[in-house]
Amino acid sequence: MGSGTLGLPTLKALHAAHNVSLVISQPDKPAGRKRKLTPTPIAAWSHGVGLNVIKPEKCGSEDVLRAVSDADPDVIFVAAYGQYIPTKLLALARLGEMNLHPSLLPRWRGAAPVQYTLLSGDSECGNSLIRVAKEMDTGDILAQTRYPVDPNATAGELHDSLAEDAADLVIDTLERMEKGTLDHPIVQNDALATHAHKFTKEDAYVDFTQDAESVRCRVHGLNPWPGVTMAWRGPDDTTHELKICRACDLPDHAHSADPGTVIDHGVVACGSGAVRLLEVQAPGKRVMAWSDYVAGHSVPVGSVFERKSD
């Protein structure tokens, strides 16, 4: 049961090593400028390899329950499915269900765990396989992986890395489940829980009054969605919209400039320290290196980055 790309590497691994008897995904939705009905990444790949796919509006309907019963599953695997899954459906799996969540639960329960891992400057990340519970992401933990966070990674890159990591975790957990050697599930400590709410377009900015590391974490944590879109104002008071896609922090860079001021080529003052802009995107253009952007746009020292007005 899945919709987004998080579960795609695992689905491919399951298809290679096991019998995937049924795939349940979200209905096709309009996408692109022409609003053409488009299947989810999970559904599209499954169709391509000939798997049995259903895309119900509600997964608790009698038709879906009948389809799952006919599939006779040993395990139901869930990854970024996007609907509430009723207990009566999960009960149809002989060995139960496992739900993939890309964080070290109970840290970062919720819709945006990858983004919050980076925004918060966490030193570790990983995947959790849990049982499905009534409250989101609170189920008992079956297995976890953990590894260091790359400070240069964006949320999109970390998401893809975690998606690839999950495939081996799931295959290994299934093997131990099949052999009866899986450790007893660990009950989450609710007192240690942190929550990752969903972002909106209104969050697409960075506050340069923060320290350099926090600015870099936000730039990377919101890439690709919703992104960090600012406006820089030159000495002539003209403003130019620009999305900041990647940066490196310079925590020891001393200056006396106001936060948001360009103090050197590609270097922007923060509340403490500074950041060097590495990749940016102008409206309607591709992502490019800062050096390529300034080849066509003069951004003189003294220019100021500020929050884009609506």
In this prediction, residue 33 carries a pLDDT of: 81
Query: Is CATH 3.40.50.720 correct for 5-196?
Result: no
Paired strand residues for 261: 304
The pLDDT of residue 310:
66
Residues contacting residue 54 through CB under 8 Å, at least 6 positions apart: 22, 23, 24, 25, 64, 67
Top CATH class of 201-307 equals alpha beta
**Residue-by-residue pLDDT tens, the chain, 310 positions:** 999 999 999 999 999 999 999 999 999 999 888 889 999 999 999 999 999 999 999 999 999 999 999 999 999 999 999 999 999 999 999 999 999 999 999 999 999 999 999 999 999 999 999 999 999 999 999 999 999 999 999 999 999 999 999 999 999 999 999 999 999 999 999 999 999 999 999 999 999 999 999 999 999 999 999 999 999 999 899 999 999 999 999 999 999 999 999 999 999 999 999 999 999 999 999 999 999 999 999 999 999 999 988 6
pLDDT recorded at residue 278: 98
Q: Where are the domains of the chain?
A: 5-196, 201-307
- CB count in 10 Å sphere of residue 307: 14
Structure tokens at 277: 């802009």
CB-based contacts of 197: which residues, under 8 Å, 6+ apart? 110, 111, 112
Distance CA(131)–CA(142), nearest Å, equals: 7
Q: Which amino acid is at 165?
A: D
Neighbour-count burial for 93-124, b at 16+ CB within 10 Å, e otherwise: beebbbbbbbbbbbbbbbebbbbbbbbbebee
What is the model's pTM?
0.96
Q: Say yes or no: do domains 5-196 and 201-307 share a fold.
A: no
Which tokens belong to 300?
A: 């003189």
The whole-number pLDDT of residue 32 equals 83
Parallel, antiparallel or unpaired: strands 304-307 and 76-79: unpaired
Let me know if 234 is exposed, middle or buried by CB neighbors in 10 A (0-12, 13-18, 19+): middle
Residue 303 CA from chain centroid, whole number: 33
